[in-house]
Structure 1
């Protein structure tokens, strides 16, 4: 007779039944779903192990994960206990899930050290200026994905055409912050001066005589240019293209005085080119048709708006005053 049959026969003969009941497990831990703040990626789980009873006695209570296990966000684990009695019967009904979820991210990045608005004053003959700055920094519990601006440090800004620089900061959950913006502006040292490539011009308000015009320009004070401070003088113009630039810069309604006169010596026209005494000998092509004319009554020179040529005028006539500095 086989051994197991002999054992069963012996137990039966002795009045003892075979053990067919597995251990009874109590106080099995429940599932533990945990939600952690943004920026936290793991959680440590602890629990009290279950208990067990069995008529034959408990041999062991064993789990496949120990209390204190670390679980990461989005990667749940199942803890299973195997309880074995002294007759080798087992119970694996005690199992529970440990999971870590993350709170919804509702906080955009926090931006620090955003540059301030900046305005730079440039000489009258300068039309652009480059700006540099240190980019802002940002923090976020989820981490920073990118810090991007719509203009880069070193950008060129034109006079009277300010730009606004805006930074877009994005965190790793896609939330953005666009609160960091600042304006870059360029202003001329004197708003009343307009420049070509060779000269800067200032149109004085009102109309006045030739001598008053000359005195006004001479007494204006120094003008800041890219090459230094310059003394202004009454306009000198001896070519049509140059005067066309003036007409494009200003709205003119009458003739414009130029720095030419023969009042000191009738018949000898003296033109001061730059206000420092540099003289100019008038060429016939500078004059309008039938000019010079008027005799000793017309000792000063103005440029006609239509002709863009020199015309003799009485010095006490009232015309536009345009002051100049040479670059």
Structure 2
């Protein structure tokens, strides 16, 4: 009997097939003695549209809003229907004993696989490969410690809730705006509040009135300090500032207190995708899309970063045992890494 492995992308499926010995390449999958490895192409399915659910929802009108179906359901995306059919045919093979979800270790990756398995009505056992790194070692260890897919049900429900929220808010509000204002307007759960933030900031910038003010600084023995005052914008005229300088200069200064503190600053956390995109834009002028493309390549092809499509700044527990090896690997560029490896 063989196990059907479902990856999220062809490139990941190719890497998995090499490690699992599935060296027979076919159009839609790889096959070996113990494994059949296939792939999605991102999402192969999407939620049904309103017109797929009720005839009266085919026409955009206020009378039918809000549209709140008890069950939405999914439908295949036209461009990738062939790959979905191929997965369904593999799943029906009598020599397939179970499926292994090997999509990205995140909410959307879980949704990609669950929708496919539900749509093709897969009724055999399902297990989950959960890895945050694409190295050969991580993949082998991941397959050695597979968990039942049921352990990740909450992650799937979270992704499903996100998808349904997008549907309910986006489609209802978009129709309401379009019908009311007789214009092609759109709204979305993320899009609308994000645009609101941009609009508010733009309004604040347009209403900003610049004002000139002066500050006083004291320099002694190469050390510089700025005078603190209740209203930092109080000195609006150069004459006022000059008079204050003259007044202070005629007096002797006195140090009344020196306070010294030992402060421990924790090491910065690893980047999340948003922070990395911000830094890459500031330093190199990269767009968010380019940064995502680069870091995705570092993850999938070069295998030197952890799973990038997450807003978490913490490394997952499955990486803990590999950190010494990672530190030794970069010791050539950063000699101090070897010291950290020894301490660890």
Normalised to the residue count of structure 1, the TM-score between the two structures is 0.17
Task: Look at both structures and tell me which one has the larger radius of gyration over its CA atoms.
Answer: 1
Richer in strand (by share): 1
